[in-house]
Homo-oligomer: A and B are copies of this chain.
Amino acid sequence: MRGEARRESGEHSPPADGSARSRRSSRLPQQLVAAAAALIAKKGPQGFSLREVARRAHVSQAAPYWHFADREALLAAVAEQGFLELAAELTQVWTEEADPRGRLQALGAAYVRFALRQPSYLRVMFGPEVPVKTDHPALHRASRKTLILLTAAIADAQLGGVVRAGDPDELAIATWSIVHGLAALLVDGQLQGKGATPDQVETLVATVTGTLLSGLAPR
């Protein structure tokens, strides 16, 4: 036990003098997260080891412990990174598509495409490697953006009259569920043969989001 290991690079208090030296000198934390993300993308969350990450960053096996409490904390940082990238892509879609119905559809499609493009990211974001996300505040914050964004899209669509009345939070959860479910099943290979080609994926996405939108429609 190191008592209170710094869990994130930004959390230790800077010197009170505010000098130039107060800026972080080492970029090791970011290098470790990047190396970990690359390793996971290449070999899956199973192939990941803290020592291998340290080797790839050209530091000793003990070095990561200065910046991350343990293996799980580094994985949580990777998961956080994944949620931030997902949020960025969804926000991008939001700005590109003004129509509330088309926007919901586009958000769903973007979510599934993100998952298929970065399957290992999705597995760290939602898998059991980080069992209790609330143990990692930054990760928790990043992950909640997803539901917040979907809820806003639902509320918007309600105002536009294309989604029925009801608790936007619950309808957003239904939206997240169907889109995340399709992404998870595809990534886990449960739809073997059904989602093999990009064409088949697009068909599935269309069917699923179509069913969703029809289920959300008024009356």
Interface residues on chain A, size class: 35 or more
Q: Do A177 and B208 touch (CB < 8 A)?
A: yes
Q: Do A128 and B126 touch (CB < 8 A)?
A: no
State the oligomeric state as a number of copies: 2
Cβ proximity bits A165-195 to B, threshold 8 Å, 1 near / 0 not? 0110111011011111110110011111010
Which chain B positions have C-beta within 8 A of A176? 181, 185
A165–chain B nearest beta-carbon distance, Å: 13
Which chain B positions have C-beta within 8 A of A134? 189, 192
Q: A184-B184, A185-B180 are in contact. Are A211 and B207 (CB under 8 A)?
A: no
A residues with a Cβ closer than 8 A to B are 44-46, 123, 126-129, 131-134, 143, 147, 166-167, 169-171, 173-174, 176-182, 184-185, 188-192, 194, 203-204, 207-208, 210-217
Known: A173-B208, A177-B177, A177-B178. 14 other contacts (CB 8 A): A44-B128, A123-B128, A126-B190, A127-B128, A132-B189, A133-B188, A147-B190, A170-B203, A177-B179, A178-B178, A178-B212, A181-B182, A213-B215, A214-B214
